[in-house]
Amino acid sequence: MRHIGLICTLLIANILMATRLTLSLTSSRSIIPPLLNHTRRSFFHPKQFPKSYSCPLWSSSFSFCLDTLHKSTSPLSFTSSSSPSCSSCSCSFSSMASSASLHDDVASNPLLQDFEFPPFDAVEPKHVQPGIRALLKKLESDLEELERNIEPSWSKLVEPLEKIVDRLSVVWGIVNHLKSVKDSAELRSAIEDVQPEKVKFQLRLGQSKPIYNAFKAIQESPDWQTLSEARKRIVESQIKEAVLNGVSLEDDKREHFNRIEQELEKLSQKFGENVLDATKKFEKLITDKNEIEGLPATALGLAAQSAVSKGHENATAENGPWVITLDAPSYIAVMQHARNRSLREEVYRAFVSRASGGELDNTEIIEQILKLRLEKAKLLNYNNYAEVSMATKMATVDKAEELLEKLRSASWDAAVQDIEDLKKFSKSQGASEADDLTHWDFAFWSERLRESKYDINEEELRPFFSLPKVTDALFSLVKTLFGIEIESVDGLAPVWNKDVRFYRVKDSSGSPIAYFYFDPYSRPSEKRQGAWMDEVFARSRVLARNGTSTRLPVAHMVCNQTPPVGNKPSLMTFREVETVFHEFGHALQHMLTKQDEGLVAGIRGVEWDAVELPSQFMENWCYHRETLMGIAKHYETGDSLPEEVYLKLVAARNFRAGSQSLRQIKFASVDLELHTKYVPGGQESIYDVDRRVSERTQVTPPFPEDRFLCSFSHIFAGGYAAGYYSYKWAEVLSADAFSAFEDAGLDNKKAVEETGHKFRETVLALGGGKAPLEVFVQFRGREPTPDALLRHNGLLSVPASA
């Protein structure tokens, strides 16, 4: 959910987390090489590897997930340590917690207890330092024992290694997750204090020559050909990741490499914190209703709730006062609906300049990150950091750039026409700014044009998209497609907030196969923006307990949609519906895996630029008539969405598709440029690069004071560095995969079920145990082609220019 260049982020995390990204892969041979690098996450990666799979920065309609990049404070995401079936998922730290050498307060630390599901409700900042330090001490001892007794065999190498990494993954995963959903100064401080020690251990593990040599011995043994494909991929991945981790560096270079990793970890965390703080810092109190004319009732209710939380106890949606923030639901509502142009300008300026000034300025942090990434690449004998990133992905730098240019040329004319349409329409409406439309006007007039052209007002459609109906329809769809049942089991597992739901996934026989948490609502004061999926526990044969054959997977899905207002349920925009489907696609790949090798189960070991396939695939069903009409029931009357409105939604799907495509291409192009050609400290600044790339990827030049790079968490605080192209790369795969259902006949229930079963048994079941191109061919019967994506976007026949 990058889903993300990210790999170089975390040694261990690599193996285990793939992501909630939104990548797109072009698959025709002309764009993508037929044989892609086997790039799975390795438990060796010392850098932090984003466990979250964030959605892309969609654009022009401003209905996008903002700053969705999960901070890579995550640990060595490798395996997780609790099994999801209540009888078999306890995390076995009891021997550690009961050790006589541990102080009582450590022995009672909830992070170190035997638990079936993480004690999210009990963990406090005060538990972090003693808990992590006790854990690291125990794991260091386990690692030393492994190295002393190591043998080049699965049982003597991979299995004990998986157990070591799993313990840290689970415990650090709890801490890191709470920082994302329940942030506080105390928690930040506690994490910052122990993070260097955690990274030191990760580096120690990732640079273990005994482990590296044992993996090489397995690869060179006579038994190599007898290994399963999944095991071969694990071995190959670990060898590659160990090298990228610096295992082959001489002592002085390795020490330099380790200093770089520690500093990058620190800078990445600080970058993300600055973005969060800058986002929270902006508040605009409005007392005159005329200033917020045009804002829909839902947005006014949210603004009043914000005002109440800021001490204005008597604030109401009707009479105010109202507080506007830069949190996604508030920001998007202003940009799309506020008639007050000066308010739009003020909010837009604040948004694009976040974390670019004062004590929260990320400019120098970006410089340092790019400088250190380049140094790291040189130490590893690569020309630039993008080459390091691509070493563990499907694409190469050239192939990624080739894809982006193909899509850019197909999108350009359509994007130019989008701007012309807005100018013409705004002029017809007598807008004073018609001859001078700029960045804070585009979303507003886009919505007015959408309403005029398709007679659709997204805000007026909210009553038809209540969260309970959306989840019911989603669960019904996956039952049809994949033969699974989902039931609420609230109370079975501790949660971090009263609004978090907990669910069990069962197969057709009624047996549990997975669990997941769902945290849907925006909480600006403590929860980072965006939407993501992350793993809590991964499926694993090695970590099975209590007589079970495998440990079941557990996931969590996090969104930032509009919360319930008053007695109304959460009423969603159609974009928020798409986001829930997207995140659930990531969760499905994690939960429905049939791969028992923990290091390549589910999203683990899936090449970063392919991991968005299931998530983007699920979005397509939001336009499927039966699915959408099953969702769209008025929350009060129960009336279905009128047929003509459904047809208009489908017709509006490609509204401004050229502009939205170009925006993603711009982000991906800037990312690659900064990680291939940019010279830190040279004559060109990062903002010069941004403007130069924009000349080819933005019809309207960027706002002069635009400092979006300072909040581009995907590449500076997460795992998408030199990997943002993955959104488009994987989008090609997902569109082509969905076209298999179109070919079978979307109205043919039997054909849909048969195709869904095949999708489950390949894309969702095989995990990282098979190369993604091979998985796709096994499902589709051929290599992928970008035609379906261009067709879905209405760009297939658009002539290229510019």
Find out whether 35 and 622 touch, Cβ atoms under 8 Å: no
Does residue 583 have an active-site annotation?
Answer: yes
Between CA 361 and CA 358 the distance in angstroms is: 6
Contact 245, 207 (CB under 8 A): yes
Alpha-carbon torsion 168, 171, 173, 175, what sign?
Answer: negative
Distance CA 464, CA 571 (A): 8
Cβ-contact 512, 552 below 8 angstroms: yes
534 DSSP β-pair partners? 556
At residue 141, the 3 state secondary structure works out as helix
Where does residue 546 fall: left (phi above 0), alpha (psi -120 to 50 degrees), or beta otherwise?
left
CB 438 within 8 A of CB 700: yes
In 367-388, which positions are buried (b, 16+ CB within 10 angstroms) versus exposed (e)? bbbbbbbbbbbebbebebbbbb
Exposed/middle/buried for 508, CB within 10 Å: 0-12, 13-18, 19+? exposed
CA angle 127–495–80, rounded 5-degree value: 70
Listing DSSP states for 225-276 in one string gives: GGS-HHHHHHHHHHHHHHHHTTTTS-HHHHHHHHHHHHHHHHHHHHHHHHHH
Strands 283-286 and 322-325, bridge-based pairing: antiparallel
CB 238 within 8 A of CB 44: yes
Contact present, 82 and 118 (Cβ < 8 Å): yes
Q: Is 120 helix (H, G, I), strand (E, B) or coil?
A: coil
Supply the DSSP symbol for 37.
-
Exactly one of 583, 607, 619, 731 is catalytic; which is it? 583
Q: Which active-site residues does the annotation give?
A: 583
